[in-house]
Amino acid sequence: MIKLNKAIDPNVDLQPIQRPSSSLSQYFPLKDSVAKLVKSRVVYKLNCSDCDATYIDDQIEIKTTVEARPLVHNILTQSAVKQHELNNNHHIDWTNFNILAKDSKNYQLLVKESLLINSLQPNLNRTTNSVPLVVFPEGLMLFKPKIKIRSTLDSLPLVDI
């Protein structure tokens, strides 16, 4: 490397510096990992154990204990997931859910949930989105519209003096 540098520009004194060795923290993390059952501010996907039914929802904060099933929807009999279990005698796998996205900001979490519901089309979700996903209601404009501006002199009638 030094020889190559001297051949290109002899006036530059290149001194390679060795990288420091890996730190211990790379091998021994300081923080304990958080169990998936108690993570909050996530968008998760539930799967039915007996069929291909799926459900996507966000979890901002866990409101039940781990022993009492962590997802709030399980204790609500009106939820689509609970109704699927009761009506079809199926079992939702409450402990083996997938975390699809996470975000520390509530609104961004709802946007992620809405985008995931729209793209994955889970069949147990009653709502299609949690927040409106309209950014440009008139659609994206690829080109600026061409506007012809007339000069006021051109639009005046000619008058003979």
How crowded is the C-beta side of 32, counted as CA atoms within 13 Å?
Answer: 4
Record the pTM.
0.56
DSSP sequence for 74-100:
GT-TTSHHHHHHHHHT--B-SSS-EEE
With contact defined as beta carbons under 8 Å apart, do 51 and 16 qualify? no
Which structure tokens are listed for 121? 């089309």
Neighbours of 56 (CB within 10 A): 24
DSSP 138: T
> H or E stretch including 44?
strand 42-47
> Mean pLDDT throughout 109-135?
85
Q: Where are the domains of the chain?
A: 34-133
Burial category of 42 from C-beta neighbours within 10 Å (exposed 0-12, middle 13-18, buried 19 and up): buried
- 135: Cβ contacts below 8 Å, ≥ 6 apart: none
Looking at per-residue pLDDT, the higher value among 32 and 116 belongs to 116
**What digits encode the pLDDT tens for the residues 18-38?**
777 777 777 776 777 777 777
DSSP sequence for 45-70:
EEEBSSSS-EEEEEESS--S-STT-S
Burial category of 153 from C-beta neighbours within 10 Å (exposed 0-12, middle 13-18, buried 19 and up): exposed
Task: Give dist(CA 30, CA 143) in Å, integer.
Answer: 52
pLDDT of residue 94: 78
**What digits encode the pLDDT tens for the residues 46-92?**
899 999 999 988 875 544 444 444 444 444 556 788 889 889 999 88
